[in-house]
Structure 1
Amino acid sequence: MKKISALFLSLFLLASVFSSVHAAEKSLTVWLNGEQIQFNKSEPLVEKGVTLVPMRPLLEKLEVKVNWNEATRTASGTKEGLSLSLQIGNTNATANGKTVKLDAAPKQISNVTYVPLRFIAETTGYKVAWDSSLRQVALTSEQQAEGSRGFLWKVENKGNTVYLLGSIHVAKEKMYPLRQEIEDAFEAADYLGVEIDLSTIDPQQAQKLVLDLGAYKDGTQLKDHISAETYAKVTAFLKANDYPETSFDNFKPWLITQNISNIQAAKAGYQTEIGIDMYLIQNANKVKKPILSLESIESQLQMFNNFSDPLQEKLLLQTLEPASEDTPAPGEGLDLLTKMWIEGDDAVLAELTKASAWDDEYYKGMLSDRNEGMVEHIKSYLNSDKKETYMVVVGALHMLGDHGVVTLLEKEGFTLARQ
C-alpha cells in the first residue's frame, strides 16, 4: 500500500472542527451505483413529493436506447429484455407491454422532458433510496444494494448494548447508502455517541477557539518557527492555490496543516457536511435522539496545540509532500481510504493503524490517550443499570491495534462481535 500522510489519516480520527457545520441546502443529486449522474444545465426537481429528472441523460446512463415521437409527444426506451413508453401529460405508462400508473405525469420544461425517476429506475431493475439529509437519490443494482460496509462492532453487558462504528469524517456521496446493519443499529439506539456533537457548535465561537490557540500572540510569525525550506513550500502552496503568500504568516503549523487538509479534501470532492458521523448526527436530530459527546472541541484543539514544534513541522511537511510512486496525491489518498471504508476492509485498517505509530508523540496524542478516554465513556454505558442501547461513532483508526478501542474493551473483559 502507498504511504498515506498523517494528515489524511487524521480524517479518520478527528471530528471536523475546522470548518463550518452549517451548510446551505444542497442541490438534489441522483447517483447510480455510487456515481453521480450529470444532468448538465437541467436539474432534477421534486413536485408534490415526486422526483422528476431529465429523461435522456438518465436513460442513456442506464444504457437504454431513447426514441421520441413528436406527433404523439411520447418517449420510448428499449434495452435487451425491456421496453417502456411514457407520454407527456399522461399518468399511464407502459413497461414491457403492461400499463403502469405513474405518481406524476411526464412534463416538458424548456424543451427538456422530465419523467418520474422511480418508475424509470424500478422498471430497469434498480432499487431507489432517498436521503433527505443529503438531498440524494441513490439507484442501486442488486449487486450494489448492500451499501457501504464500514466498521461495526457490537458489545453487550448487564442488559446494555453498544454498537461501535468506526467513521470517516469527510465523505463523497458514493459512500451512501450505508448497509442495513448500520442503519438498524442506529434505529435501535437510545443514544448516539460521537466525538463531538458538531450540530451544537456555534461556528463563530469555534473560530474564536481555533484562533485563540492557533495564532501567534508573541510577535513572532510562522517563519520564525519553521525552516526556510518548509516556509518556502507553504508560500508555494498558497501561490498555487491563488492565496496571498502571507496568508498563513500568523498561524502555527498545526492550524496551517488542518487548513491545507480542508483545501485539498474539498478540491478532491470530499465534504465534511456528509461525513459518516455528521450524517448520523443529522438523523439523530431529526428523530430527537439524544446525542452524547465523548470529547470536546477544546480538547481536540488543545491536543494539536500541545504538539512539539518539530512534530508540527513534520506534519506540515507531510501535507505539502508532492505525489510520488510511494505517496499518493491528496485525492488519490482519500479515495484509497474511502475504498477501505466502503469495503469494510479490516486488514487495510489494521495496516493503517500500525502506520499511525510512525511517531511516538503523534501516536500518543492522536490515538492512545484519546482511546483511553473513549473507552471510559463506553464502559460507563455498558456498566449502567438502565439497560439501554448506544451507538458510538468515532474515527475508524481508533478501533484496532494494541491501543485500539476494541482491544482495550476486550482487555477489560468485554466481548465484541464484528458485525
Structure 2
Amino acid sequence: MKKMSVLLLPLFLLTSVFSSVHAADKALSVWLNGEQLQFGKSAPIVEKGVTLVPMRSLLEKLGVKVSWNQATRTVSGAKEGLSLSLQMGSTKATANGKTVKLDAAPKQIRNVTYVPLRFVSETTGYQVDWNPSLRQVHLTSKQQSEGSRGFLWKVENKGNTVYLLASIHHVPEGMYPLRPEIENAFQAAQYLGVEVDMSTVTPEQLQKQVLELGVYQDGTKLKDHISAETYKKATAFLKAKGMPENSFDPFKPWFATQQIMNLQVAQEGYHPEAGIDNYLIEKANKAKKPIISLETMESQMQMNNNFSDALQERLMLQNLDPKSVTPPSPDVGIDYLNQIWIEGDDQDLLEFTKPTGWDAEYYKGLVSDRNVGMAEKIKGYLNGDKKDTYMVVVGMLHMLSDQGVVSLLEKEGFTVERQ
C-alpha cells in the first residue's frame, strides 16, 4: 500500500468533521472487518440510541447458526462456543448462558425481525465502534493477533505507578484483546491517560476548531497556497474517490492531508475507530474509569497549523505522490508501523524514531516539543502523594530515541522497566 508519513499526525478522528461539512445526513451503515454489510430494502434503524438491524442478514454474516421458535417467538444463535437467545418484544436476553437486560427489545417490522446490533455482535465475539458523524458502525473480530506484543513500560515512584503503553492509531483486524500484561495493567490502573480524549469532544466543538484553524478565513482557497501541480494531484485524488473535485478548496493543506490519509487507510481496511487509544477509551468509559488528556484538541490542531506552508505541501504530496517529493519523515507504510508494534522490538522502534531522516521542523513540532510536555505530565503523576496507578497511552513515535518520553523520564532519575 502507499507509504504515508502523515499517519503519525494526531487528531485521527478529523474525518468526521470533513464529512459533516461536505455531506448531507447519510444513511446508517454497518461495516464488518472493513466491508460494508448490505441489508437490501430492510435498512438498519436507531431507536432511543440503540441500533437495530435485520436479524438473519446480520447473524449469517457473523457466522452464527440461527434457530427460531415460533411458539415462544424466540431466536437463538450459536457460534464456536458462544450463544445468545432473544425473545420478540422482551428486553431480557441470554448471552453465553447469562441473563442480561437489553436497552431495546427485538421487534418485527414488515415481517422482518430486527435485533440490537451491539448485543448480538459483542456476544458473538466482535468489537463495536460507532462514528456518529459518518453514521457508521464498525464491527471487528476480537481474536487476539498471535504473538502481538506491543510496547509497555512500568515506572514507580513514591507509591505511584505509571504504565506507559505505546499506541498505534490505526490497527488491523484481530488486534484485540491485547496481550495479558497490557490488559492487566489497564485493569490495575485507576486512571487512563491519553493524548486527547476525543470521546468528550462534541461534533460542534470539533467543527468550531476546524473552522478556526483548518479553514481559510481570508477568502482564499487551497489552490492559492499550493502549487498548481499539487492542486491537480489533489483534485485527481478526489475524483478517483467519487468526490467533488473542489472538496478540499476551503481547507488548509494540513487538514486536507489528514483527510487524504484517513480515506487511504480506510480503503486498506484500517479504521481509526478501532485504534488502541479508542479501544482503551471505550473500555475506560464502560468501567467508569477517569480519563485524563495529556494534550488538548486545540494544541494538536495549532501544532499542525503552525507548520510552514512548504512543509504542509510536502506532507500532502507524500500522500498523493510519494515519489514527487523529499519525504519529511521516514517513508514507510501503515503495514510496517503495525508490524513494528506487533513484534514489539525496541530496536526497530528506536531506529524509526531517531531524528535522522526527518525534516527538522516536522520532528520538532510533531515529536520532540510534545514529548517534553507529555513527560512533565507523567512526572506529576509519579510525584503525587496519593499513591495512584495510571495507564498512559500515547503514540509509539513518542516513546524512544534520546528525546522520547522514556528517555526523558530516565534523565529525571526514574527507573523505567520494560514489561
Normalised TM-score (structure 1): 0.70
Superposed counterparts of 1:203-214, under 5 Å: 203-214=203-214
Aligned position for 2:387: 387
Between the aligned partners of 2:141 and 2:408, the Cα distance in structure 1 is 40
| 1:94-129 deviation digits (Å, cap 9, x = unpaired) | xxxxxxxxxxxxxxxxxxxxxxxxxxxxxxxxx978
Aligned position for 2:352: 352
| 1:257-287 deviation digits (Å, cap 9, x = unpaired) | 0111121122222222221111111111111
Between the aligned partners of 1:223 and 1:372, the Cα distance in structure 2 is 36
Mark the CA change 1:154 to 1:346 in structure 2 (over 3 Å): closer, same or farther: same
Larger radius of gyration: 1
The reply to whether residue 261 of structure 1 matches residue 258 of structure 2 is no
- SS in structure 1 of the partner of residue 16 of structure 2: coil
Aligned partners of 2:168 and 2:395 also within 8 Å: yes
- SS in structure 1 of the partner of residue 353 of structure 2: helix
Between the aligned partners of 1:140 and 1:213, the Cα distance in structure 2 is 37
- SS in structure 2 of the partner of residue 413 of structure 1: coil
Mark the CA change 1:162 to 1:407 in structure 2 (over 3 Å): closer, same or farther: same
Aligned position for 1:112: none
Q: CA deviation at 1:376?
A: 0.2
Mark the CA change 1:17 to 1:139 in structure 2 (over 3 Å): closer, same or farther: closer
Aligned position for 1:397: 397
Between the aligned partners of 1:400 and 1:410, the Cα distance in structure 2 is 11
The reply to whether residue 233 of structure 1 matches residue 230 of structure 2 is no
The reply to whether residue 8 of structure 1 matches residue 7 of structure 2 is yes
Between the aligned partners of 2:174 and 2:295, the Cα distance in structure 1 is 28
Aligned position for 2:77: none
Aligned partners of 1:222 and 1:248 also within 8 Å: yes
Between the aligned partners of 1:213 and 1:187, the Cα distance in structure 2 is 37
Superposed counterparts of 1:238-253, under 5 Å: 238-253=238-253
Q: CA deviation at 1:344?
A: 2.1
Aligned position for 2:170: 170
Q: CA deviation at 1:322?
A: 5.6
Aligned partners of 1:172 and 1:269 also within 8 Å: yes
- SS in structure 2 of the partner of residue 364 of structure 1: helix
Aligned partners of 1:30 and 1:139 also within 8 Å: no
Between the aligned partners of 2:366 and 2:356, the Cα distance in structure 1 is 9
Q: CA deviation at 1:249?
A: 1.7
RMSD over aligned Cα atoms: 5.3
Aligned position for 1:201: 201
* Amino acid in the other structure paired with 1:5: M
Aligned partners of 2:355 and 2:363 also within 8 Å: no
Aligned position for 1:185: 185
Aligned position for 1:295: 295
Identity of aligned residues (%): 60
Between the aligned partners of 2:246 and 2:264, the Cα distance in structure 1 is 19
Between the aligned partners of 2:263 and 2:244, the Cα distance in structure 1 is 15
Superposed counterparts of 1:79-94, under 5 Å: none
Mark the CA change 1:18 to 1:370 in structure 2 (over 3 Å): closer, same or farther: farther
Between the aligned partners of 2:31 and 2:241, the Cα distance in structure 1 is 30
Normalised TM-score (structure 2): 0.70
Between the aligned partners of 2:305 and 2:344, the Cα distance in structure 1 is 32
Mark the CA change 1:166 to 1:128 in structure 2 (over 3 Å): closer, same or farther: same
Between the aligned partners of 1:206 and 1:415, the Cα distance in structure 2 is 38
Mark the CA change 1:294 to 1:139 in structure 2 (over 3 Å): closer, same or farther: closer
Aligned partners of 1:17 and 1:198 also within 8 Å: no
Between the aligned partners of 1:252 and 1:207, the Cα distance in structure 2 is 14
* Amino acid in the other structure paired with 2:383: N
Q: CA deviation at 1:219?
A: 2.5
| 1:209-235 deviation digits (Å, cap 9, x = unpaired) | 112111112222222211111111111
Between the aligned partners of 1:318 and 1:196, the Cα distance in structure 2 is 26
The reply to whether residue 310 of structure 1 matches residue 307 of structure 2 is no
Q: CA deviation at 1:145?
A: 7.4
* Amino acid in the other structure paired with 1:414: F
Q: CA deviation at 1:371?
A: 0.3
Q: CA deviation at 1:379?
A: 0.2
How many residues are aligned here?
A: 376
Between the aligned partners of 1:166 and 1:253, the Cα distance in structure 2 is 28
Between the aligned partners of 1:302 and 1:415, the Cα distance in structure 2 is 33
Mark the CA change 1:130 to 1:270 in structure 2 (over 3 Å): closer, same or farther: closer
Q: CA deviation at 1:417?
A: 1.1
Q: CA deviation at 1:174?
A: 1.7
Aligned partners of 1:5 and 1:318 also within 8 Å: yes
Gaps of 5+ in 2: 18-27, 45-54, 64-123, 132-136
- SS in structure 2 of the partner of residue 391 of structure 1: strand
Q: CA deviation at 1:367?
A: 0.2
- SS in structure 2 of the partner of residue 400 of structure 1: coil
Q: CA deviation at 1:380?
A: 0.4
Between the aligned partners of 2:171 and 2:206, the Cα distance in structure 1 is 22
Superposed counterparts of 1:12-31, under 5 Å: 13-14=10-11, 16-19=13-16
Aligned partners of 1:160 and 1:386 also within 8 Å: yes
Q: CA deviation at 1:343?
A: 2.7
Aligned partners of 1:147 and 1:177 also within 8 Å: no
Between the aligned partners of 1:243 and 1:228, the Cα distance in structure 2 is 19
Q: CA deviation at 1:361?
A: 0.3
| 1:54-76 deviation digits (Å, cap 9, x = unpaired) | 99xx99x99xxxxxxxxxxxxxx
Gaps of 5+ in 1: 21-26, 44-53, 63-126
Aligned position for 1:366: 366
Mark the CA change 1:389 to 1:17 in structure 2 (over 3 Å): closer, same or farther: farther
Aligned partners of 1:149 and 1:342 also within 8 Å: yes
Q: CA deviation at 1:350?
A: 2.1
